[in-house]
Amino acid sequence: MDELKATPRTTLRRLPARGSYDRALIYAILDEALLCHVAFAEEGGQPYALPVNYARVGEHIAIHGAAGSRLLRALADGVPACVSVTLLDGLVLARSAFHHSMNYRSVVLLGRFKAVTDREEKRALLTAIVEHILRGRAADARPPTAAELDATLVVVLPIVEASAKIRAGPPVDDPEDMSIPCWAGVVPMALVAGSPIPDPALSQGIALPESISRYHRPGR
């Protein structure tokens, strides 16, 4: 896949070696994470960054929410937005306090969302959001009704102005610190799924579907 064009707003100035504009890498991070933080600013400059779930659908990010939600209404109005997605991969324990860090893979996306008005397009994007939560789930669950579609705002942002930033590997200490007798290394971190907990109101005799029993998070 291609490289996105770095813009003055997405050019990484701090530690540019950790940055990337590679579309395949950006997509892989977006597809692995479950939540993003979406930011918008009020007039006067007060920003809000709120966690929401989402899906990448082709070259777009789709977000949904209640039609009355302030966030969704602002995004549908096309205010400048930022989508930030971060996977935490490890605690980086250096010999010096100064070089402590985290291993992570992150994406920052800039642009303006657009509301999706076409009902079939909306339905497809909502299906993608359910599938992003758990692949195979959309086939098992009851699809949205017309009333549910109307009560939901769906907005999409093209993945055009975006960058990824990655830190991986061991700590990097200053040469003069390498002989300090202090353990140094990485504690890997990963989001993992536990055993499914059935709804206490679940009817008798409903088996766990394979989409759930086989579910696992991408390991590291």
Question: Does 152 sit near a second copy (CB under 8 A)?
Answer: yes
Contacts of 208 by beta carbon, 8 Å cutoff, 6+ apart: 196, 198
Contact region for a second copy (CB under 8 A) — 16-24, 45-53, 54-62, 113-121? 45-53
Strand order through the sheet with 80-93: 19-20, 161-167, 101-112, 80-93, 35-41, 47-57, 60-66, 152-158, 114-115
Residues 52-81 that bind a second copy (CB under 8 A): 53, 65-66, 68-70, 79-81
Those residues whose C-beta lies under 8 Å from the C-beta of residue 213, and which sit 6 or more positions away, are 196
Quick check: 17 binds a second copy (CB under 8 A)? no
Residue 196 touches a second copy, criterion: CB under 8 A: yes
Under rule CB under 8 A, residue 160 binds a second copy: no
150 is a site residue for a second copy (CB under 8 A): no
What's the DSSP call for residue 69? -
Instruction: Give bridge partners of residue 36 from the DSSP assignment.
Output: 52
Structure tokens at 138: 């959309």
CB of 68 to a second copy, least distance (A): 7
Question: Which one of residues 18, 23, 32, 106 is an interface residue with a second copy (CB under 8 A)?
Answer: 106
The least CB distance from residue 159 to a second copy, in Å, is 16
At 140 the three-state DSSP class reads helix
By CB under 8 A, residue 84 contacts a second copy: yes
The yes or no reply on residue 204 touching a second copy (CB under 8 A) is: no
Instruction: Please name which of 172, 204, 166 lies closest in space to residue 185, comparing C-alpha atoms.
Output: 172
Query: Is residue 8 part of the contact set for a second copy (CB under 8 A)?
Result: no
Nearer to a second copy, 20 or 127 (CB): 127
